[in-house]
């Protein structure tokens, strides 16, 4: 269980690949996260192009596509991406799936109008890495484009219970504010198969 907590960027693909192979993927709930579903309808998007960073097995990307968005979804684990492609084909939606890391490569199709990540931003433990992630998101958005992120919430004292990495509100604001106008930062809970579901931040920001 502790492996979930100690993933480091230098070998993310290998570590996450091992977790998919082992079947230990607590973030994979088999459905789109309700936080995304509840908020998407209220977003005033400047256009239809959406980007998901770290799509896993594709449930959130498929939901975005089903809502009429033109979706590009990235992932660093080949097995997860193949599973996502199969799910999208079964669901009858068209999604551009790409095996790449936004920190290392440009994503074809930019600029996008919406960027979404569920559980990617919070894996960057160093402030400079969080700042770079935020800047890379901004570089892939149109001015006024929106970034919606679900990330672990450091306000929760989980004790010995497992859960995702956690960020403070200040961690998020310091990384994002130079590139984004912050619209909202709300405490919530991940949609999860764990009980109780881990706390998260629902973070929404507009590219400057």
CATH of the domain at 54: 3.40.50.150
What is the pTM (predicted TM-score) of this model? Answer: 0.91
Whether 164 maps to a domain, the answer reads yes
Whether 22 maps to a domain, the answer reads no
Owning domain of residue 50: 34-207
Strand ranges (DSSP E) for the chain?
49-53, 70-75, 95-99, 112-118, 141-152, 180-189, 199-207
Whether 69 maps to a domain, the answer reads yes
- Who's near 201: CB < 8 A, 6+ residues apart? 149, 150, 151, 152, 153, 167, 169, 172, 185, 186, 187, 188
Whether 24 maps to a domain, the answer reads no
Per-residue pLDDT at 99 = 96
At 98, the pLDDT band (50, 70, 90 cuts) reads very high
Whether 25 maps to a domain, the answer reads no
Contact, 207 vs 145, CB < 8 A? Answer: yes
For the segment 22-55, what is each residue's pLDDT rounded down to a tens digit?
Answer: 877 778 999 999 999 999 999 999 999 999 999 9
């Amino acid at each position: 269980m502790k492996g979930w907590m100690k993933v480091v960027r230098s070998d993310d693909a290998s570590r996450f690949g091992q977790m998919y192979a082992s079947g230990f993927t607590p973030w994979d709930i088999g459905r789109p996260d309700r936080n995304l579903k509840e908020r998407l309808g209220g977003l005033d998007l400047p256009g239809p192009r959406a980007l998901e960073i770290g799509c896993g097995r594709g449930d959130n990307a498929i939901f975005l596509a089903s809502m009429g968005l033109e979706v590009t979804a990235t992932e660093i684990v080949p097995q997860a991406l193949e599973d996502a492609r199969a799910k999208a084909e079964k669901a009858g939606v068209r999604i551009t799936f790409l095996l790449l890391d936004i920190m290392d490569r440009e994503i074809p199709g930019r600029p996008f109008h919406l960027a979404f990540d569920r559980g990617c931003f919070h894996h960057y433990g160093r402030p400079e890495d969080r700042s770079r992630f935020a800047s890379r998101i901004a570089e892939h958005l149109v001015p006024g484009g929106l970034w919606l992120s679900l990330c672990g919430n450091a306000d929760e004292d989980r004790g010995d219970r497992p859960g995702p990495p956690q960020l403070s509100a200040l961690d998020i604001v310091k990384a994002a504010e130079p590139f984004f106008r912050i619209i909202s930062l709300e405490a919530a809970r991940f949609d999860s198969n764990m009980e109780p579901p881990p706390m998260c931040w629902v973070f929404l920001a507009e590219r400057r």
